[in-house]
Chains A and B, each alone.
Chain A
């Protein structure tokens, strides 16, 4: 049993192909691990029966020689992806009981490639949060603990996606990233998290938060696994008008390709006042690892970095207030009855949405309202262009950019939830990539003095995820990060 959970997806795929193991065995090991790690609150809707059936079907494809690239691999799905006939809630009260009659493009591509669905994973309500604490199901818990033993946030919004992969209750998982919701939890839980280029993966069937920023991406234990599943997720989809008609290379070819001669930018503006010493240390360490691997380090400037967060907190809530207008108690979702139609809308939405979601709807409505539109929304869009131009200029000079993923390691549950701005500051290093539409990856790089994972982020020009895989695998090779959180499925220890 233990060997099954220790395998990377790439190793498991190879053992499955050689028929050394079966998907039913592998899937059962993960189903057991879901049970032993249930205190981490990662799965909001486990789909055990579906998993068993998909595993049996995968084993048949191996016997028939028609197995897809993800055949037999157990995968968890953030509860923001619509899954046909399986409850999909966005971890919101307003959608409890919602059962889609269709499947999102990204998940259907994964099942087409042979992936096995383990269940739906916890996240912040409508993906709005950085700690998974806004979920109607309560927070996902980080499998890592500080030396003093306090329960830590798995990060957010895709907290369950990160925690399950770290804890060994999913071999891989998918999440979404609007301002850091893949990269930040990946860093907190010590796994690899990729936010692809805007337009690389179809958004069709993913519950919308901020449509110009949202992207789906994978969580994995290794960079090689990330390339494996990402190749199956990416590609043009006529059902998403913003999906890019760009070819999808085999990203696995980029993993462990040489970084010799590559130019890596270090943006001065990411040195923040009062930044944790440990973060500075791991950033320097990453820089010297890449130098040792033959890359050239270049100091660069991204002058509008400081304005990315306030810009994001206009644009994302504005788009959210518009996207969430559809939850009106008429066509789907829960309803609170009232005398008039307007009263029904107001009562339904007040009861169905949590505090942070309501706060963002109000900010967004305010920024878009007559008299404030120019001062807030248009100004934020202008600043957004300046931020994108900073990156465009930088990528004329460098192949990738190296930064920390987060300003701190994982924090305690309850530490930041009462102060919205303190919580927002967590995404300071991740938000710029969403505004600029560029791809980013977080790779585990080491441990803090408290024994918690620290992540490094790499950014590249649009559609150059291959460069991310190349540089991230160079860091992975040198970091030798060991996957052993305290609260994982026993077999991982």
Chain B
């Protein structure tokens, strides 16, 4: 599967990665090679095989609906690049 540089830009946009034109050319070759190699999987007849997302197939365990954590605002904010009072600060999103 060839991945042209426009496709690379589109995927990079979905993944929120800023990519220069020059880099998208390089990545187009790189990703194309990797995907070609991965396409060996087409040789496998997997008709009717149930996909396996995790070997742990039992259902998720339940627990009592109790508060077990909280009141740690200072810890939650400790590693943030920018805070104001009890909030994370981000660039303005609403005009």
Q: Assess whether B2 is interfacial by the CB under 8 Å rule.
A: no
Question: Could you show 7 A-B contacts with beta carbons less than 8 Å apart?
Answer: A313-B34, A338-B91, A340-B92, A343-B18, A353-B17, A421-B37, A436-B55
Whether the pair B81, A307 counts as a contact (CB closer than 8 A) is no
Whether the pair B44, A344 counts as a contact (CB closer than 8 A) is no
Whether the pair B56, A358 counts as a contact (CB closer than 8 A) is no
Whether the pair A386, B54 counts as a contact (CB closer than 8 A) is no
Q: Assess whether A7 is interfacial by the CB under 8 Å rule.
A: no
Among the stretches A115-123, A363-371, A485-493, the one at the interface with B is: A363-371
Whether the pair A345, B56 counts as a contact (CB closer than 8 A) is no
Q: Assess whether A381 is interfacial by the CB under 8 Å rule.
A: yes
Which residue in chain B gives the minimum CB-CB distance to A368?
B14
Contact A332 to B80, CB < 8 A, known contacts A350-B19, A359-B31, A421-B33: yes
Partner of A358, one of B17, B75, B76, B93: B17
Contact A363 to B31, CB < 8 A, known contacts A307-B44, A344-B91: yes
Q: Helix, strand, loop or mixed for chain A's interface?
A: helix
Which residue in chain B gives the minimum CB-CB distance to A199?
B56
By a CB distance below 8 angstroms, the chain B residues around A379 are: 41-42, 44, 46
Contact A380 to B41, CB < 8 A, known contacts A212-B54, A332-B80: yes
Q: Assess whether A310 is interfacial by the CB under 8 Å rule.
A: yes
By a CB distance below 8 angstroms, the chain B residues around A101 are: 72, 75, 78-79
Whether the pair B56, A330 counts as a contact (CB closer than 8 A) is no
Whether the pair A310, B15 counts as a contact (CB closer than 8 A) is no
**Which of A98, A325, A361 is most buried by chain B, counting CB atoms within 10 A of its CB?**
A361
- Tell me the bound Cα distance from A363 to B11 in angstroms: 9
Contact A333 to B78, CB < 8 A, known contacts A328-B16, A341-B90: no
Whether the pair A437, B38 counts as a contact (CB closer than 8 A) is no
Contact A307 to B40, CB < 8 A, known contacts A321-B15, A338-B91, A369-B14: yes
Q: Mark A98-112, 1 if CB is under 8 A from B, else 0.
A: 111110000000000
Whether the pair B52, A314 counts as a contact (CB closer than 8 A) is no
By a CB distance below 8 angstroms, the chain B residues around A361 are: 15, 17
Besides A212-B54, A338-B91, 9 new A-B residue pairs in contact (Cβ under 8 A), listed by A number: A242-B54, A313-B37, A330-B81, A331-B76, A335-B81, A361-B15, A362-B11, A366-B11, A378-B51
Whether the pair A331, B51 counts as a contact (CB closer than 8 A) is no
Q: Assess whether A334 is interfacial by the CB under 8 Å rule.
A: yes
- Tell me the bound Cα distance from A99 to B40 in angstroms: 42
Q: Mark A288-315, 1 if CB is under 8 A from B, else 0.
A: 0000000000000000101100110110
Contact A383 to B44, CB < 8 A, known contacts A99-B78, A342-B16, A366-B3: yes
Q: Assess whether A20 is interfacial by the CB under 8 Å rule.
A: no
Task: Categorize the interface residue count of chain B.
Answer: 35 or more
Partner of A362, one of B31, B41, B78: B31
Number of A positions contacting B (CB below 8 A): 68
By a CB distance below 8 angstroms, the chain B residues around A333 are: 79, 81
Q: Assess whether B65 is interfacial by the CB under 8 Å rule.
A: no
By a CB distance below 8 angstroms, the chain A residues around B15 are: 321, 349, 361-362, 365
Partner of B55, one of A102, A245, A388: A388
Partner of A330, one of B34, B46, B54, B88: B88
Q: Which 10 A-B pairs have the closest CB atoms?
A: A437-B55, A381-B51, A382-B46, A332-B79, A385-B52, A335-B81, A346-B18, A350-B18, A101-B75, A345-B16
Q: Assess whether B50 is interfacial by the CB under 8 Å rule.
A: yes
By a CB distance below 8 angstroms, the chain A residues around B33 are: 420-421
Q: Assess whether A238 is interfacial by the CB under 8 Å rule.
A: yes
Q: Assess whether A417 is interfacial by the CB under 8 Å rule.
A: no
Whether the pair A198, B63 counts as a contact (CB closer than 8 A) is no
By a CB distance below 8 angstroms, the chain B residues around A155 are: none
